[in-house]
Amino acid sequence: MVAIEDIRSRAKELLEGGMVRAVLGFRRSSAGLLAEPTFVVASEDVASLVWDATCVHNLALYLVNEKKRQKAERTPDTRPLAIIAKGCDSRAINVLLQENHVAREEVVILGVSCEGGGVVDTRKLADALRGKEAASAVCDDTGKVKVATASGEVTFPAADVLADRCLECTIAYPSVSDTMFGEKVDERGFTARFAAVKSIAAMSEQERSAFWDGHFERCIRCYACRAVCPMCYCDECVVDSTSFIVSPMTTAEEKANRIRWIQRSTTPADNAMYHMVRAMHLAGRCIDCAECERVCPVNIPLRLLNTSLEQEALEMFEYTPGMDPAQPSLISSFRDDDPNDFIR
Amino acid sequence: MSEVLETPVQAKKEAQEFEPKIVAFLCKWCSSAGSDLAGVSRLQYPPNAVPIQVMCSGSVSPLYILSAFNKGADGVLVSGCHPGDCHYLKGNFFARRRIYLVQKLLKFIGLEPDRFRMSWVSAAEGTKYAQVVADFVKDIKALGPQRKLKARN
């Protein structure tokens, strides 16, 4: 178990030395169980930093957002930003480094290993608690999660309350870090990797088709999955074009003939298109933080789409995203012995 | 009287037999020339494939493929040069990897895998192109129209 004091003292050191402009971490939120992301700017505020099983957010997203914000600033603070990163967050940072979206000297990574634990899934926890409200959740070293409620502490086995991605995670330690807290744990012994995807892939074609139709039908196209994804940093998205400028001079013909790759209407077919385009754009980039699935207001299992491609990438191309910023990306590289037998 | 009426109705029914719409993305340097060769050699093959010439099979974005299905295609064919013959040296290798992923994704969400196909057709392989299209049309006729990804307007 990582001691929060170690992280706080390192954060304090960085802030007092003026080596970073802020420390991006988690603090207790004013409402709800989950910790909330915070920028700690003053060294006396490091005491607000927390580290437990409720730190679910992928903070790499704020690295991307901060970069956008900084671009608009007239006199930006060019000191690096310190970021507290779990294994998955660090892989997201690695992908951003690989794509040259963020430079290595712009971040100080305080990597934290999840060791034998992970983060909670609020939906699973709500089911397990049956109406009781959780006040805190902490993983211990024995694969159990201690949840404090108003009527005392309850202990659950990890499989009941931890997020699916944590149960399937095999790389629970940071793949890139300046300071690492905690131990590298390789044997976690929860679920087999890609267990969820394999169970869907084992369905018959009709079942799978019906399964996804049922889910895509519900999509309300709120684009929360896109907003929360650290990899979805394009200025313009294929689903809502911002570069088509309509002026009084724009003719009706121009408006009518503009390319609409995907309609905005929430028909099942267009929803499926949107999610598949997103999955393709994340092929070889998604590091399975499952934030898209967590924020989905209608509970579409979006993680499955991305992990299915992650599985293909691993099994057919031996590619694991986010392990090495120097490796060429999945779809901008090839090998002579890539699968060829599916081609006529 | 009824016998007299039946014949034209039946004829109409036969005319309305499902004819699949296939969008074929053909590489300008090989497959497009291959389809041309099939034409000038007067090979008989189904007219269902609408060719779209692209500069390289590697330039076919997954979005084109999905969009074709969305706009009502029953099948999509991507055809390029044999590995090692790419005009741009490695475009078809990139295409191979990308299209493999698209195919797996389409399969994962439950679209029949037979609706999306890739082939290597060189400029000299007119007969192969005709064969690929004929096989594709036959397979899609068995599957029927594609409704899963088609936008309903």
Interface of B with A (CB under 8 A): 62-63, 66-67, 70, 83, 90, 93-94, 96-98, 100-106, 108-112, 117-120, 132, 135, 148-152
Q: What mean pLDDT is predicted for residues B102-125? A: 94
Contacts of A289 (CB under 8 A, 6+ apart): A58, A60, A88, A89, A92, A165, A230
Domain ranges of chain B: 19-143
CB contact under 8 A, A262 and B120: no
In this prediction, residue A212 carries a pLDDT of 95
In chain B, DSSP finds a helix count (H) and a strand count (E) of: 5, 4
In this prediction, residue B1 carries a pLDDT of 45
**Could you tell me how far CA A100 lies from the centroid of its own chain?**
19
Asked if the structure places residue A204 within a domain, the reply is yes
In this prediction, residue B8 carries a pLDDT of 58
Q: How far apart are CA A201 and CA A194, in angstroms?
A: 10
In this prediction, residue B153 carries a pLDDT of 61
pLDDT > 70 fraction of chain B, expressed in percent and rounded = 90
Q: Which domain holds residue A259?
A: 192-336
CB atoms within 10 A of CB A91: 25
CB atoms within 10 A of CB A296: 20
Chain A nearest CA to B8, separation (Å)? 37
Residue of B56, B97, B99, B138 to mutate, interface with A, max A Cβ within 10 Å: B97
- What's phi and psi for B20, nearest 5 deg? -65, 145
Which residue in the set A206, A305, A338 is minimally distant from B96, CB to CB? A338
Asked if the structure places residue A28 within a domain, the reply is no
Report pLDDT digits (tens) over B51-104: 999 999 999 999 999 999 999 999 999 999 999 999 999 999 999 999 999 999
CB contact under 8 A, A211 and B110: yes
In this prediction, residue B6 carries a pLDDT of 54
Q: Which residues of B touch A272 (CB under 8 A)?
A: 109, 148-149
ipTM: 0.90
Q: How far apart are CA A89 and CA A299, in angstroms?
A: 22
Query: Given a cut of 60, is residue B11 above it in pLDDT?
Result: no
Q: Is the CATH number of domain B19-143 3.40.1010?
A: no
How large is the angle between the packed helices B91-108 and A302-317, nearest 10 degrees? 140
Asked if the structure places residue A322 within a domain, the reply is yes
Asked if the structure places residue A166 within a domain, the reply is no
In this prediction, residue A248 carries a pLDDT of 92
Collect the ranges in chain A with pLDDT lower than 70: none
DSSP for residue A329 = P
Q: Which residues of A touch B150 (CB under 8 A)?
A: 269
Domain count, chain A: 1
* Three-state SS at A240: strand
Asked if the structure places residue A101 within a domain, the reply is no
In this prediction, residue A309 carries a pLDDT of 95
- DSSP per-residue letters across A241-269: -SS----TT--HHHHHHS--SS-SS--HH
CB contact under 8 A, B135 and A208: no
**Could you tell me how far CA B80 lies from the centroid of its own chain?**
12
Q: How far apart are CA A87 and CA A97, in angstroms?
A: 15
Asked if the structure places residue A98 within a domain, the reply is no
In this prediction, residue A60 carries a pLDDT of 95
